[in-house]
């Protein structure tokens, strides 16, 4: 049986695509190309998680949000501070656990996303 080998891309719908692209460029440092997106090249080992959750779950807080993006960061505290300083809505909770540190914020169209600082060596 053939299998997928990883996530090839993530595609978002937006009420104002140009404004949302600019939001991600400004606040998360994603260099948006003229075609409207960015290709992340992996330079070191890492993982991408794909999960299907029950509709009624506690992980994606807003029941009307069908998905949640998770972005890897090197320094969660610094990223959250940067977002707060820029006036971005940031959730107060931060989780520390076996899989690393997690924090949450909301993009320019109020979509909640997750920031993940993996444990060292992961």
The per-residue pLDDT for range 80-120, each reduced to its tens digit, is 999 999 999 999 999 999 999 999 999 999 999 999 999 88
pLDDT for the residue 4? 66
> Mean pLDDT, to the nearest integer, of 53-57?
85
The per-residue pLDDT for range 23-50, each reduced to its tens digit, is 999 999 999 999 999 988 877 777 888 8
Give pTM, 2 decimals.
0.83
Q: Which CATH superfamily is domain 17-40+53-117 in?
A: 2,3-Dihydroxybiphenyl 1,2-Dioxygenase, domain 1 (3.10.180.10)
Pairing of strands 100-106, 112-117: antiparallel
Domain ranges for the chain: 17-40+53-117
d(CA 51, CA 59): 11
Q: How confident is the model at residue 122 (pLDDT cuts 50, 70, 90)?
A: low
Which DSSP string corresponds to the chain? -----S--------SSHHHHHHHHHHHH-----TTS---PPP-S----------SS-SSSS-TT-----EEE-S-HHHHHHHHHHTT--EEEEEEEETTEEEEEEE-TT--EEEEEEPPTT-
């Amino acid at each position: 049986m053939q299998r997928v080998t990883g996530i090839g891309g993530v595609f978002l719908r937006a009420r104002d695509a140009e404004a949302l692209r600019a939001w991600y460029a400004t606040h998360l440092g994603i260099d948006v190309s003229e075609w409207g997106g960015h290709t992340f090249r992996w330079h070191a080992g890492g993982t991408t998680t794909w999960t299907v959750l029950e509709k009624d779950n506690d992980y994606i807080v807003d029941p009307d949000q069908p998905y949640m993006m998770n972005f890897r960061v090197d320094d969660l505290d610094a990223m959250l501070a940067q977002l707060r300083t820029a006036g971005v809505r940031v959730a107060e909770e931060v989780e520390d656990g076996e899989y690393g540190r997690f924090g949450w914020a909301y993009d320019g169209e109020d979509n909640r996303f997750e920031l993940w600082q993996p444990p060292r060596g992961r």
